[in-house]
Amino acid sequence: MFGPIRGEWPDENWKGWWGPSPGYRHPVYVLTHYPRQVLDMGNKTVFNFVTGGIREAFELAGNAAGDQDVRVGGGAYTIQQFMNAGLLDELHVARIPIKLNAGEKLFLNPVSQLAGYVELPEVVSDPVVHISYVRPLTSIRFSDIVVESNLLYSDSVDRQPKNPAAPRTRKTIIVERLWASTILLYTVVATLVVWKALSKYGVNPIVFFVIDAITSWTYGISTARLTVCVVRREWKAVRKWAWAAAVSFITPQMYILIAAHHAPRDVYLIVIGVICFMILLALVSLIVQIRKTNKLSQRG
């Protein structure tokens, strides 16, 4: 990334892409296979050329940074090395829709390379899309030390499928609770309407009411979050809340089947239908996951 030169330095005339006054204004450690003297640009930007690999560069930069962060800049091969070594807490990718004839892939195997990272919501500044991946419980700060690469640079980037991490807003929480309260109110009214009928079939109305009230609140929250996740296309969370909603819905019906001497046919049909839906949902999720894994493997 320091320059277009590949192989030994023909001379020391090349001083980077940034002109006589680079904007770094702090020490920069350039990874290279070939030694070169320290290059002081006179505005606190000092290029140090490191031939000992990423760990030497990272150690030198860390010592210089003190309690501040170390920032790593591509090429792709350099970023891959730092990721494989577990040295990156945050990864920022700027994606631009430009088709080039050749280049290096940043993510050769996105599933394994991004394991342990969480994708933050995208930031779009047309035509650039900024994508950030962070490790949980790590701080995000601007850095004062940069590690650059003189080996390879990336012309194309493959994206990892979105990992749901979008925060729930106060408005979303209020809507969820209102919806759950509506479901709970409906459950109370419905139970009072069928109170005598439940006793007729040998079901304890009080026990049924308690079970139905608890599961109706869970059902309301689950369906509300399920809807939000579908809108946000957070498919992993969709599966989780779909299962929660299905279990919450079926639990009171299962109690009727267990407690009743003879339940109405409609109850059996509802339970069977929900079970079939849950099985179908599990199969669809499995097929989608297999296809997604195969697609990512082909990209890699």
Let me know: does 94 contact 129? Beta carbons within 8 Å.
yes
The values of phi and psi at residue 54, to 5°, are -70, -35
Residues 205 and 247 in one domain: yes
Q: Is residue 78 part of a domain?
A: yes
- What number of residues does the chain have? 300
The span from the CA of 127 to the CA of 293, in Å, is 29
Comparing 299 with 180, which gets the higher pLDDT? Answer: 180
The span from the CA of 183 to the CA of 177, in Å, is 10
Amino acid found at 48: N
Q: What is the pLDDT of residue 146?
A: 55
Q: Is residue 22 part of a domain?
A: no
Q: Check pLDDT > 50 for residue 214.
A: yes
The boundaries of the domain holding residue 138 are 27-149
Q: Is residue 8 part of a domain?
A: no
Position 152 confidence tier, pLDDT thresholds 50, 70, 90: very low
Comparing 188 with 231, which gets the higher pLDDT? Answer: 188
Comparing 34 with 156, which gets the higher pLDDT? Answer: 34
Comparing 282 with 84, which gets the higher pLDDT? Answer: 84
CATH code (residue 95): 3.40.430.10
Q: Which of 51-65, 133-147, 228-242 has the highest mean pLDDT?
A: 51-65
Cβ neighbors of 81 (< 8 A, separation 6 or more) are 53, 54
Calculate mean pLDDT across residues 104-132.
Answer: 83
Q: What is the pLDDT of residue 264?
A: 62
The Cβ-side half-sphere exposure at 222, using a 13 Å CA radius, reads: 18
> How many beta carbons lie within 10 A of that of residue 129, not counting itself?
16
Q: Is residue 5 part of a domain?
A: no
Cβ neighbors of 107 (< 8 A, separation 6 or more) are 113, 114, 157, 158, 159, 160, 299, 300
Q: What is the pLDDT of residue 170?
A: 74
Q: What is the pLDDT of residue 145?
A: 52
pTM, 2 dp: 0.45
Express each pLDDT in 71-82 by its tens digit: 898 778 888 888
Q: What is the pLDDT of residue 271?
A: 67
Look at the chain and report how many structural domains it folds into: 2
Q: What is the pLDDT of residue 48?
A: 92
Residues 176 and 283 in one domain: yes
- Radius of gyration for the chain, computed over Cα atoms and rounded to the nearest angstrom: 29
The span from the CA of 269 to the CA of 267, in Å, is 5
The alpha carbon of residue 181 and the mean position of all alpha carbons in its chain are separated, in whole angstroms, by 31
The values of phi and psi at residue 185, to 5°, are -60, -45
Q: Check pLDDT > 50 for residue 255.
A: yes
